[in-house]
Amino acid sequence: MCGRIAQYHGIHDFVAVLSMPGALVNTVGDQPLGRYNVPPTTPVALLHMENGALHADLLRWSWKPHWATNRAEPNARSEKVAHNPYYRAAWPNRAITPIDGWFEWLVEEGGKQPYYIRRHDGLPSLCATIGHWPHADEPPREHDGFMIITADSAGGMVDIHDRRPVVLAPELAREWLDLATPKERAEEMMVRQGEPSEVFEWFRVGLEVGNVRNQGGKLIQPET
């Protein structure tokens, strides 16, 4: 997890669920994002705090430190990010990636079968995120990007994939975004307070999602 996400609602829909007071600085736009099949290394809408305001910006989904020689990764393991030197530059920069759901592939008889995972209640998943991005008055930089934090799967979800995003309830997502939240508290939320498997549902979808060029609501419909 996770190798593909869906982000088709508009940024105002995501912000409404987050229920953040104050101004929104929105460079994403007001229209529905309309992306049902989003791969890593592409721009994704991200929410973060700066100068007391919530910012919605598009940022590359994948990150690595400027000194690393490996390829940039889309995800970071919750067990490592708070103390591993690899993530030192990104860990202080907390954000939320609001998504409608995500895809995983399970090896079944006949090949790899995609599954779509989303919240039971139909609300967006607010994914704990770290990264590196420019301040509002700075130009984009080569090594800007973000990683979605993942944790071990539990319950029935482990049958689909052994990792899943750390999804935070809205009140915890607001605390995660708050620049005054101590790093120790952020680590506690990341490791122990992600939404449980019971919050989610998952089902088989068509093989079309395997091609990133394919888009549209049909990709998240249960396979019949």
Residue 188: active-site member: no
User: Out of 50, 79, 104, 171, which one is annotated catalytic?
Assistant: 104
Task: Count CA within 13 A, CB hemisphere, residue 199.
Answer: 18
**Using CA of residue 118, residue 192, residue 82, residue 136, what is the dihedral sign?**
positive
Task: Count CA within 13 A, CB hemisphere, residue 103.
Answer: 27
Q: How long, in residues, is the chain?
A: 224
* DSSP 8-state code for residue 183: H
Residue 127: active-site member: no
CA distance 72 to 138: 22
Task: Count CA within 13 A, CB hemisphere, residue 138.
Answer: 9
Sorted by sequence, the CB contacts under 8 Å of residue 37 that are 6+ apart come out as: 4, 6, 103, 209, 212, 214, 215, 219
CA distance 105 to 99: 18
Active-site positions read 2, 104
